[in-house]
Amino acid sequence: MLKNQKIYSTVKGLVYTLKNYSDGLGHLIFTNTCLHCQNELTFSERFLCWFCWESLERTFFEHQTAPTRLDQLFWGRVQIKHTCALYYYSKDNICQSLIRSLKYDFNAPLGVFLGEHLANEIKEHPIRFVDAIIPVPLHPKKKFARGYNQSELLAKGLAKNWNVPILNKATFKKRNTKSQTKKDRFGRWENVQNMFELHLDLFQFKHILIVDDVVTTGATLESLIVSIQQKTPEVQISLLSFAFTK
């Protein structure tokens, strides 16, 4: 009898432990919360709650006829036909929560979703009329660690209804650069010089769109654009980014 009671309590304990584990796992897999405020999402909300989507800080660059701050960032550095970025990125803002999840949460569906969102918001912009898309390449080591290149995911979402090729292998990042935020302009330029290699002949394209997740100093983009323009100076280049650092 004593033996049976012992077996019973052991089984009961095991069931409780399993139940706790499965509850935890279920919470991890099924709980759908806002990436910024952590409120639970409704069935119609994705990644952010409605309030956070509405509170994202827009640049409205797409409606601006005068040169934007993003245009001005590249003045005297490289020739860019059109530039656009949708949201302002700053410390602890909602856009930062989106970008953080995109970079560090293995959240590939978010990248494609943000690309589709970008496409919806710039339907009328001249930036939309390009012959090909080049996502800003990541160094292979970084891409491996992250699981994907977030700019490639944005491009995938963008191009869903555009019918233009995405040239994921057109350029190659040779060096894994360190963070550039604390360097001055010359230091940043030294850090990114000869960073990219062209692996595809781009002569066949008239207008190429470079896609990035966040533009901060523009030094990496400058280096990428210089490497393209050195080999194919007649190709026009535009830039589209999800966010621009305020």
For Zn ion, the binding residues (CB under 5 A) are 34, 36-37, 49, 52
* DSSP for residue 76: T
> Rounded to the nearest whole angstrom, what is the least distance from the CB of residue 33 to Zn ion in the complex?
8
Q: Toward Zn ion, which CB reaches closer, 61 or 89? A: 89
Q: Toward Zn ion, which CB reaches closer, 46 or 125? A: 46
Give backbone dihedrals phi and psi of 38, rounded to 5 degrees, phi first: 70, 5
Strand partners, 243: 87, 214
Q: Toward Zn ion, which CB reaches closer, 52 or 153? A: 52
Distance separating the N- and C-terminal Cα atoms of the chain: 73
Q: Which two tokens stand for residue 35?
A: 């990436």
Give which of 78, 66, 240 is closest to 151, Cα–Cα. 240
Query: Rounded distance, CA 64 to CA 60, Å?
Result: 7
> Rounded to the nearest whole angstrom, what is the least distance from the CB of residue 47 to Zn ion in the complex?
9
Q: Toward Zn ion, which CB reaches closer, 21 or 50? A: 50
> Rounded to the nearest whole angstrom, what is the least distance from the CB of residue 31 to Zn ion in the complex?
14
Let me know: does 223 contact 139? Beta carbons within 8 Å: no
> Rounded to the nearest whole angstrom, what is the least distance from the CB of residue 107 to Zn ion in the complex?
16
